[in-house]
Structure 1
Amino acid sequence: MKVAANKQLVDANKQLAVAANNQLAEMDSTAVLLQHNGQWDQNKNYINFDVCGIVIRSDCNYNKLIDVICNELNLSTTTHSQLYNEVAKTEEAASNSDDEPVDYSVAEEVADFIDYVELVSNQIIEMIDERHRNNEEEVIDIDDDLVITNNRHQEISLSQIYKDKETLKTVLSHYAINNHFQYCVQKSCKKEYLVACLDKNCKWMLRASRNGNTNQFIIRKFSHIHTCALEIRLKDQRQATSTIIVDMIKHKFTNIKTKYTATDIVRDLKHDHEVQVKYSKAWRSREKAIEKVRGKAAESYAELPSYLYMLHRTNPGSYIELKSDEDGMFLYAFVALNASMKGWPYCIPVVIVDGTFLKSTYGGILLVAAIQDAEGKIFPLAFCVVDSENDDSWEWFFDKFRKAYGVREDMSIVSDRHESIIKATITLYPEVPHGAFTFHLLKNMKSKFKKNSKKFKDTFFAATNAYTVKKFEYKTRELDKIDKRL
């Protein structure tokens, strides 16, 4: 007779057993479904079977389980032994004969039967143990003030209550790092969390379980003394995952100006916790920490229209523009606040424009226009985010700048010698003089005439600071004497 079952039945067994546990609690037994008298198809699925139910006590072992099944199916234990004998004969025939074909059907049937019985018996034992633990561990009504919610909680002790399993896991990881030991997870499910020291001979262990139907986890058993060797505890720290490192360093990135590199992370973990991590893991942890504190760059761009709308609402009179490409993706953004527009008439009419690289995920360029107030202090006028410094981006910037500020008497524009800026100012500010930064000029001259760079610096600045044409021409002749190409 064929006796087997599809492994998919295991889940059904669990559900049936849980439903029947209340009725069978006094009997200390578990109900299980059994499939039999079926056939195996080509895909090794058990089909065309009969189903019956059996009750298994908690003290059931493998042999008792076989007896229960045989009694239910009207089989004798002798029949079961005969099946094993058939397997032995088949194996012996296979070993003694190289030519004659051997029928393995009986052997395969018995092997499948044994595998399934072992699988079901393990599920049953685990289910009964879990039910016993739930019966032993009463549900506790806990004051919210006693529940641990802080991931960086320092100490662990018996009967502590955590808001959920993830909080307990994070606290435990920090605890292992700070106390210089490692642990391994022996069991982790929705209702229980069991860990032990990495050394199997060590007595350190912790078991926590769920508090009834809540998400809270309570430490039910905790042996805090280590009996393992020190070199095992100080081996590579497996609890120092990137997720835990993120939790340790994320406060470093609350200030946008803070520079905290992967090298700094490697150094601090080694110094503060005696944990050695690779640069690659430190770099990944840094990226995750920045994302956790400041959010994802893509999500920030998605919120840009809402941000600009609220910026205009809270600063009425400002000039704000947002431009997207044909696919609706971000392209340019221009902002000139009302406060800057009101201060514009009272500042020195020399507009300084420049661009700088954005060190973000998607890069880009920040274009800025500034001016000096009556006291010579920097006064911001407008800023613009673009993809790169090209003809289109600078022309778009000056177009929006002119709409926001217009033209003033004696106004002039100063920038570096970027060709796109020169083209844009000629197109949109043809009536306004355009000058160049002396700093950029000197930098270009030094790179081109390295041999005489120390000789012409003072003379160059004297020429750029000249207030009369006569003095300027005199200083330029001095430059010619140093190098006519200047």
Structure 2
Amino acid sequence: MGGDELDNSEDNKENEYGGGQTFKDKKTLNLLMKQASVKMSFNYITVKSIKKYLRVILLSGGWSEHVLLENRVGFKSTNTWESILVALIMSRESTRMSPWRSKPERDREDCIWGATLQIGLLEILDDKHHCEEHSLRYARAWICSASHIFICFNGLNPESINSLIIDEESGRFIYYFMAFGASIRGYAHMRKVIAIDGTHLSSKYKGVLLSAVAQDTQNHIYPLAYCVGDKENNASWGLFFKKLKAFVVDEPELCIIFDKNVSITNGLTRHYPVAHHGVCMRHLGENLLTNHHCSKSLYLYYHAAKAYTLEKFNDYFNALKERCPSVAACLEHEVGFEKWSRAHFLGNRLNVMTSNIAESLNSMLCNEREYPMAAIFNSIAHRFGEIFRKRYAEVDNPKTTFIPVSETILRENMTEGDKLYVKNINGSTDEFTVLGYGRFAKVNILRQSCSCRKYDLVKLSYAHAMAALYLKHGNEYDTSIYNYSSQIYSKESYVLAYLEPICTAQLESEWSVAREYLKIQVFPPDFDLKLGRRKVKRVKGVLEPSRYKKRNKCSKCKRPGHKRTTCSLNIG
């Protein structure tokens, strides 16, 4: 186990995991068990672990077997361990193809498949906080793969944008930007609203992962670009926006949503001065709650932010101004109405009021934050490659013209539009007045506009437009509703966005890299050790099963959450 190179041959597997071996201590034996579970795709549970023996249960393909690992001598002073039963030599292919695999096995297989350094990764994560050997392995993972992974991605994903920036003097890693070619070409069929956010990496060298995300017409996450850097500052966000401008063009139709980060604001002002910038409604609301303590009136802020018309906005904001003057002053003078209010927003942010799509991407990549840099991007490619294939197949329905979500909205609006009264204005065939529920609206179906502004922003026929179309086309108006909605909701546009696949890089041993690139070495970035006492408790890796702590129960009522002395049965 002390070697630097990993051999995946079957003969070496039998020698490495066979019986009759001795180990330095129990810690080394546990590490070998975890490595074997990854290489051979099986689960195991530790039943009992004491000084005299270690008993585990192997789980794979619906069967289980006990493995007894005993102390050879039996004295407390000895540190020699020997495996008695040979039960770890299994066929990896048979376990992977078995239909009786448990859900943890399938989840771990997906997680391992996405990592470039599949076997070495678990060893690195297992004791990386206090094991010198694994720290060296982790550094080698950066050196051997960070300089070559972007070359493989370019060959597998044509026209992708990769940018690796290193320090000229020390040769250490600084930034890496990645945008897959499939996402670049699919962005042309997306609505021009993107969310920007960053998340911290939890590997040895820390850092941040910056991302830009769009939202398709099915309200799904559509990733655009990623960037690994040292921290969220002006330099990292400036580089990210500079590379992003290669395919996300700065134009008036573009809207960018972010969480009011100062570095993001500076980068957008410099690189995207023409596009419209909006603040995340949820982040701003949390800041107001923390700084102004307005929990009882915060709902008025959310209603004002979501209002489509200035009339409704003024009603909610004036009520908020009466109850919390400090909050109203902050929103009006410090932030500005045009940053958070839909009614005052100068561009079109559609129904995207928060940066939740970017936050959801960060949540999806929670496990990948512990990986080395090359494994992060390969796991992202594997995960979204599968998602692209599924989304491409889910709209394959020849009976509908628009995507399923839009079809559902249109049918609901047709039902609601039948309850409204419509009147033609000046005999025009395109302008109508719609009455209902004590309100009226003016609709121009040719311009796809309405005084309620829902039709203007979303470009999908709402109830007022449906009532006008019924008056114009009669009972057969349901066949013409698609002509008065934006074609970005059509199935053809959705399929084109997911037409091209995202390919993952194979194992590093199978890479074909030119000789001139093999000489390039990228050293890991510098990192500062934290002050204070170091952690004694080991941090579990993402592939290790976790056990939940058993909750104590009351000895009287047998319910958790309290104890015998505070039980409600004692009263009376």
Q: Same fold (TM over 0.5)?
A: no
Q: How high is the TM-score relative to the length of structure 2?
A: 0.38
Larger gyration radius, structure 1 or structure 2: 1
Task: Say which structure, 1 or 2, has more relative contact order (CA 8 Å, 6+ apart).
Answer: 2
Structure-1-length-normalised TM-score: 0.44
